[in-house]
Structure 1
Amino acid sequence: MSSDPAPPPAGLINRRRWLHLAGWSGLATACGGGGGSATPSPPPPPPISGNVLMIAVDDLNDWVGFLGGHPQVRTPALDALAARSTVFRRAYCTAPVCSPARAGVLSGLLPRRTGVVDNTATFSSVNPGKQTVDQQFASAGYTVERFGKIDHIWSVVPTPLPSPMPYTNKQCPAPVGENGFDWGPARGEDNNQPDYQYAQAGIDFLNQHGADQPFFLSVGFTRTHTGWYVPQRYFDLYPLGSIQLPYAPPDDLDDLGPEGRATALRFDMHNCIVRQGLWASAVRGYLASISWVDAQIGRLLAALAASPHADTTTVVFWSDHGFMLGEKFHWHKMALWEHATRVPFLIRRPGQTTGAVVNAPVSLADLAPTLLGLHGLTPAYSMDGQSLQPLLSNPAQAWERPVLITRRQADALQSTGLDYAIRTAQWRYIRYANGEQELYDVIADPGELRNLAASPAHAAVIAQLDAQMPPTAWP
């Protein structure tokens, strides 16, 4: 193993500037129930221009063709969309669990300001009267509709699983409720599956909505959330004998502390899968689920292309957080490493026909202010995220904003504090509530296999990154 590289002095941001960039200047007084000060007496909204189609997927990591996260994945619809969009190659969730992540997308706020740090609450439940991004569009005169899972609720029947469906967690029991961890061919026709019905609801809206009334349409798909139940032909795309597995060296946890190891081995899922010889089968189920949801997105995008709204609609695609399938022996989200936090994220402007790539790290908290700004709307409250409009205009523009990711720690060693990760262009720094630290040079070590936190040569990097993190106590 080579010696530790000397930490470069460039690229680190002083604490005051970073806190300002991250929108934290009011954090001390704004924690908990949403925070931020409402804009007093806002001016009348400007004339409405253009529509928004927002597409969300559950638990999808970087295993899409246009990000190259898995060499075998087939996502033709998403790849075609990416070829005509601005792709944010290093986009990260605000939290690696559903409700806090979605609260961040919909509000432009980080978890300490949404008040949502786990799945026991939604943004609306703890911020009554505070508008999500689509509700702000509604106040400006847009027709707003949601189908499927956008917030951590399902806004159209059916609920995530059709009936009948195997609810038994037959592969590996997990204490996360029915359908916690299982996969296999779905029963019934395509139109019996929720994601098909969510796409169809969006298609019907596009076909029926008049061209003279702007809209903000959101369609959220429940796959790739477990259980991975999709039609057999999507499993057939990935022959079991040829599945390529994630890389997990035997000593990958040796340089982690107790909390890091407890997070990695949550539910002892890896042992359950490996001892049954199911690793390839599970990866196949995830890949099949990705291709299934890609097909439903393809149906929706084809309907948009054939509609009167084709040239007047901004298309946004994102996943709430990633998912790990054996990296660091972890089988879940709820961790602060790359595969649990990196997400596919792209924006296609009306009329955009060529693709562009942004390599700077960005946060999904940046989405709400970006959409509002693109449509000439002023945010209803101060947001932590920052509009990505400059990067849409110039993808190579310098962008020094680090991304903050938050995790409530109670699922591992039963701490009630908050864990944090900071992702910059070069570093991922993790600080657990119990004081444990991890540092990865993601340029030299993109797999995050070598924890540099104990290296004296990196003490200055850790000190500067650590100074930029908020307190661990909650609330």
Structure 2
Amino acid sequence: MPERPPNVIVVFTDQQRWDTTGAHGNPLGLTPNFDSMARTGTHAVQAITPQPVCAPARAALQTGQYPTTTGCFRNGIPLPEHSRTLAHHFGAAGYATGYLGKWHLAGSDPVPPEERGGYGSWLGSNTLEFTSDAYRTVMYDEGGRPVLLPGYRSDALLDAAVRYAADHHAEPFYLFCSLIEPHHQNEVDSYPAPDGYAQRYQGRWMPPDLAALSASGGSAHRHIGGYLGQIRRVDEGLGRLLDALRSMDLLDDTIVAFTSDHGNHFKTRNDEYKRSCHDSSVRVPLAVRGPGFDGGRAIDTPVSTMDLAPTLLDAAGIGVPDDMQGRSFLPMVRDPGAEWPDEAYIQISEAECGRAIRTSRWKYHVSAPDTDPWRRPSADRYIETALYDLAHDPYELDNLVGLASHRDLADDLRERLLRRMAEADEPPAVIEPAPVRTHPQRRVDPAVHGLTLKGARFGHQRG
């Protein structure tokens, strides 16, 4: 009798920064269950979204394709019906498929069947932030009927995930559980944590970028307590889900992945919460546990969340489709020396038409000032806008763009970015250099800064 394939559950938060987790050094103990997954499973230390806004990031994760490929390059564009999602691929392999929570890839609520991305069981809302609030969670079932779930919103969704696992324990299942937390509640622009949770964390800790930038604007000081309180409650729900899987004797046979669509800079980089090139927008938590991922592996190379789709298929023994532009990082789990590019590629829309690459050391960002980011997915002319040294400036407070000392570096990153744009099937474009600046104490040694080691000699020099 053939071995049963692993179950797969994705727990997906909305707008969660990477540095809210203990695995990334957060001092508040917000995420012990995520931290355990990262410690004993596989932790993508530098996980980067391909698009720092809701719908494009979700389209990319569901399809393994860039937003410019699916056409969902901004919010408000439904996922095309011909797009093949994780649900289609798992369903074709004999899995039961289920979706819970926020979708944001359709044109309306309730989401019509043809816009549900091929999922079988359905209990969701296209825009959950508008059909619910913290203690009133309303979603729609397969028949389009409203369903009111009891409890705090993230509890309600994770409890529904437990019920789904219990109902489908006798067959292989794939479940995508999409939370709204820690996203703000749109109509009141607040972060409604459970009673008492905001007070527990307000004023205790602030990410360095927010501490530095909030003095001149932003909403972090007002919202950070509720934001962190939401994350704490989500992690408690994650723990309940893992406990329930253990009690049903499913834990060892289930791959559980936890990640987010994008981060949150609390209006310090623009007049919204994301849609920028900075790690506060694009860097997210990502850990995977279960068959194929256990053993405490940390992947230090930048990984795109778009790579999660082919990785999950690969881990389940399902062939990765040729049209997926993401790639499975499972080979890196098995072999730390496996070949992998030292960069993640980012497309930015709505606030600007922008492009960026993030390496382990550098962030290079360009934007198209003459292009309407709501009407056009790409441009033929970009201008260098930002360059950050993440080793010495991890919170991106010192923009090095245009410095003559960094010109060779910027040229190298420009060529890498253009190559990634071409690989994403974007139209040809030019990137114009930023205006030249100088600084008396800035210089770059290419060998030291990882640009090139051609011709370098290793070992001790005799005196």
TM-score bin, normalised by smaller chain: 0.7 to 0.9
Task: Report 1:77-156 matches (<5 A).
Answer: 77-123=33-79, 126=80, 128-150=81-103, 152=105, 155-156=122-123
Q: TM-score, normalising length from structure 1? A: 0.72
When the two structures are aligned, how many residues end up with a matched partner?
Answer: 376
- Pair 1:129–1:393, CA change in 2 (3 A): same
Whether 1:367 aligns to 2:323 is no
1:229 aligned counterpart, secondary structure: coil
Gaps of 5+ in 2: 112-121, 137-147, 186-190, 370-382, 430-463
Partners in 2 of 1:60 and 1:100 — Cα distance? 16
Residue 16 of structure 2 aligns with which residue? 60
Deviations 1:109-160 (A, max 9, x none): 112211111111132xx2x222101221101111001111255468525744
**Aligned equivalent of 2:183, options 208, 211, 225:** 225
Partners in 1 of 2:327 and 2:59 — Cα distance? 16
- Pair 1:64–1:419, CA change in 2 (3 A): same
Structure 1, 226-235 or 146-155: larger mean CA deviation = 146-155
Residue 17 of structure 1 aligns with which residue? none
Q: TM-score, normalising length from structure 2? A: 0.73
1:102 aligned counterpart, secondary structure: helix
Deviation at 1:249, TM superposition (A): 7.8
Partners in 1 of 2:327 and 2:133 — Cα distance? 44
Task: Report 1:151-170 matches (<5 A).
Answer: 152=105, 155-156=122-123, 159-160=128-129
**Aligned equivalent of 1:425, options 357, 360, 375:** 360
Q: Give the percent of matched residue pairs that are identical in Structure 1 and Structure 2.
A: 29
- Pair 1:152–1:196, CA change in 2 (3 A): farther
- Pair 1:193–1:71, CA change in 2 (3 A): same
Contact 1:50 1:214 in 2 (8 A): yes
Whether 1:411 aligns to 2:351 is yes
Partners in 2 of 1:367 and 1:357 — Cα distance? 15
Deviation at 1:376, TM superposition (A): 1.9
Contact 1:53 1:216 in 2 (8 A): yes
Deviation at 1:294, TM superposition (A): 1.2
Partners in 2 of 1:456 and 1:83 — Cα distance? 42
Structure 1, 437-446 or 319-328: larger mean CA deviation = 319-328
Partners in 2 of 1:201 and 1:344 — Cα distance? 23
**Aligned equivalent of 2:299, options 346, 358, 362:** 358
1:148 aligned counterpart, secondary structure: strand
Contact 2:158 2:177 in 1 (8 A): yes
| Structure 1 counterpart of 2:227, one-letter code | Y
Deviations 1:291-334 (A, max 9, x none): 11112222212111211322211111110111113655765011
Partners in 1 of 2:365 and 2:297 — Cα distance? 30
Contact 1:325 1:331 in 2 (8 A): yes
Deviation at 1:221, TM superposition (A): 1.0
Partners in 2 of 1:61 and 1:163 — Cα distance? 23
Partners in 2 of 1:351 and 1:386 — Cα distance? 16
Higher relative contact order by CA 8 Å / sep ≥ 6: 1 or 2? 1
Contact 2:197 2:229 in 1 (8 A): yes
Partners in 1 of 2:150 and 2:428 — Cα distance? 47
**Aligned equivalent of 1:336, options 247, 252, 277:** 277
Residue 457 of structure 1 aligns with which residue? 405
Task: Report 1:233-312 matches (<5 A).
Answer: 233-238=196-201, 240-244=202-206, 246-247=208-209, 271=217, 273=219, 279-312=220-253
Partners in 2 of 1:150 and 1:63 — Cα distance? 25
Contact 1:270 1:331 in 2 (8 A): no
- Pair 1:67–1:164, CA change in 2 (3 A): closer
Partners in 1 of 2:46 and 2:385 — Cα distance? 22
Whether 1:75 aligns to 2:35 is no
Partners in 2 of 1:59 and 1:392 — Cα distance? 26
Structure 1, 460-469 or 359-368: larger mean CA deviation = 460-469
- Pair 1:351–1:247, CA change in 2 (3 A): closer
Deviations 1:56-102 (A, max 9, x none): 11111113333335433511221222222100010100100000001
Deviation at 1:411, TM superposition (A): 3.1
Partners in 2 of 1:395 and 1:204 — Cα distance? 37
1:451 aligned counterpart, secondary structure: coil
Partners in 1 of 2:245 and 2:45 — Cα distance? 25
CA RMSD of aligned residues (A): 3.1
1:324 aligned counterpart, secondary structure: coil
Deviations 1:334-388 (A, max 9, x none): 1111110001111113286542211100111111111111222123442211110
